[in-house]
């Protein structure tokens, strides 16, 4: 019995996984270098929040650090703590800022809080009074109406001669609301507002542009840009050919191929009725894995406005989703493939180089950001490096 078990020890779990996720770290770092070039005189940071957009903050963060990134943005202190060993001397900015109870982990891991409200600012001042000098960043709302000190609050703070000397922000930043639409007047309005803020904090780094803002041009770059979705291969600007390299590929194993007669139904709610004898491939992925139910071919509200549902890729062809996507399973119609082209055990690409993540998003009525950050926990991961 022991010899039998030992014979399996060298098998790669990726080769037999029901769900596989391949992350091309070379494409990731090339995308960062591309955004760094587009940022021109500004430095390019790397946004790695939400587990590096679903790609894995440890591996992706380390790859970006090795490529030259020295400024990172995360959403939470926990994310910053996870990233720190992989970006040892980088500046790591925590976008959610600081809250009571997070001080120790923030300081021990040399994380920089982004202060976004008067309440956070008051607490930060109290922390400085107890712990002494420590860097922070200031987030200023220039029209987004999401997070940030108001313009008046930020400029008054810059001019406040009574503020303690230990209060020493190293970055002032804001966020564009409409940078994915280059024709929007909002971009120019926010730029002019941010210029006022930047001038009030002369000598301190300024940052306005995330991925889409970088494509708006040098006026928006200031000292530091913050590329996020573009690093992971996603579209960031509407109505523009995406220049970024695909980074992530998700595949699901075919569990069964079955033949179904014309007139029969497929899946929950009998949402799809077959108009011909069909062959269906059932794969081991569903909405629990981030393959959103709204991509179903029928039986969901979105199909009333976006006629076509999701597609996979197998045996050199795109194949449509059939019926409703369920929690753990999705059905693809492979009737148009040669009869022996697919069999149980083969893999269908859910998104990747052949089915772009943003095309998947459009069929689901959402954006590539949501597809990537919804990747579930059941994927076996493989990271590709240039030497691979």
Is 70 within any annotated ligand binding site? no
Is 146 within any annotated ligand binding site? yes
287: annotated active-site residue: no
User: Which CA distances in Å does 32 have to 25, 178, 270, 336?
Assistant: 10, 22, 46, 39
> Cα-flanking dihedrals φ and ψ of residue 309, to 5°?
-85, -160
Nearest to 141 by CA among 166, 110, 114, 181: 114
At 236 the three-state DSSP class reads: coil
In whole angstroms, give the CA distance from residue 32 to residue 227: 8
Give me 363's structure tokens. Answer: 């069929």
For 290, left (φ over 0), alpha (ψ -120 to 50), or beta? left
At 34 the three-state DSSP class reads: helix
For residue 321, give the DSSP letter.
B
261: annotated active-site residue: no
In whole angstroms, give the CA distance from residue 221 to residue 18: 43
In whole angstroms, give the CA distance from residue 66 to residue 303: 44
Q: Of these residues, 232, 268, 291, 318, which one is catalytic?
A: 268
Nearest to 37 by CA among 234, 218, 240, 228: 218
Contacting residues for 383 by C-beta, under 8 A, at least 6 apart: 22, 23, 25, 56, 59
Cα Rg of the chain, angstroms? 24
Q: Of these residues, 41, 49, 232, 291, which one is catalytic?
A: 49
At 303 the three-state DSSP class reads: helix
> Cα-flanking dihedrals φ and ψ of residue 55, to 5°?
-90, -10
Residues flagged as binding site for substrate: 146, 327
Residues flagged as binding site: 146, 327
What are the catalytic residues?
49, 268
């Amino acid at each position: 019995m022991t010899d039998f078990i030992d014979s399996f020890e060298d098998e790669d779990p990726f080769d037999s996984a029901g769900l596989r996720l391949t992350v091309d770290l070379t494409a990731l770092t090339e995308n960062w270098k591309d955004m760094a070039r587009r940022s021109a005189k500004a430095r390019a940071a790397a946004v790695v929040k939400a587990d590096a957009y679903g790609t894995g903050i440890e591996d992706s963060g380390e790859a970006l650090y090795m490529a030259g990134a020295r400024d990172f943005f995360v959403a939470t202190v926990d994310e910053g703590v996870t990233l720190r060993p992989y970006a040892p001397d980088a500046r790591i900015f925590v976008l959610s800022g600081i809250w009571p109870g997070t001080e120790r982990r923030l300081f021990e891991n040399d994380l920089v809080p982004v202060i976004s409200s008067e309440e956070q600012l008051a607490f930060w001042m109290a922390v400085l009074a107890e712990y002494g000098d420590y860097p922070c960043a200031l987030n200023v709302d220039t029209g987004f109406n999401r997070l940030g000190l108001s313009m008046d609050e930020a400029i008054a703070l810059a001019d406040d001669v009574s503020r303690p000397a230990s209060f020493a922000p190293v970055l002032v930043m804001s966020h564009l609301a409409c940078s994915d639409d280059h024709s929007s007047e909002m971009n120019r309005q926010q730029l002019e507002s941010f210029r006022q803020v930047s001038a009030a904090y002369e000598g301190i780094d300024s940052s306005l542009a995330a991925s889409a803002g970088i494509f708006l041009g040098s006026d928006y770059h200031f000292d530091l840009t913050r590329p996020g979705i573009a690093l992971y291969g996603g579209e960031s600007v509407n109505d523009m050919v995406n220049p970024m390299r695909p980074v992530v590929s998700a595949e699901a194993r075919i569990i069964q191929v079955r033949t179904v007669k014309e007139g029969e139904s497929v899946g929950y709610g009998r949402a799809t009725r077959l108009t011909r004898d069909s062959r269906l491939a059932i794969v081991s992925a569903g909405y629990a894995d981030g393959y959103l139910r709204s991509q179903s071919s029928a039986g969901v509200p979105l199909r009333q406005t976006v006629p076509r549902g999701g597609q996979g890729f197998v045996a050199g062809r795109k194949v449509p989703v059939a019926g409703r996507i369920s929690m753990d399973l999705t059905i693809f119609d492979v009737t148009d493939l040669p009869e022996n082209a697919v069999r149980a055990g083969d893999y269908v690409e859910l998104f990747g180089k052949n089915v772009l993540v943003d095309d998947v998003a459009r069929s689901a009525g959402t954006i590539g950001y949501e597809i990537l950050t919804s990747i579930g926990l059941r994927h076996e991961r493989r990271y590709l490096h240039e030497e691979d």
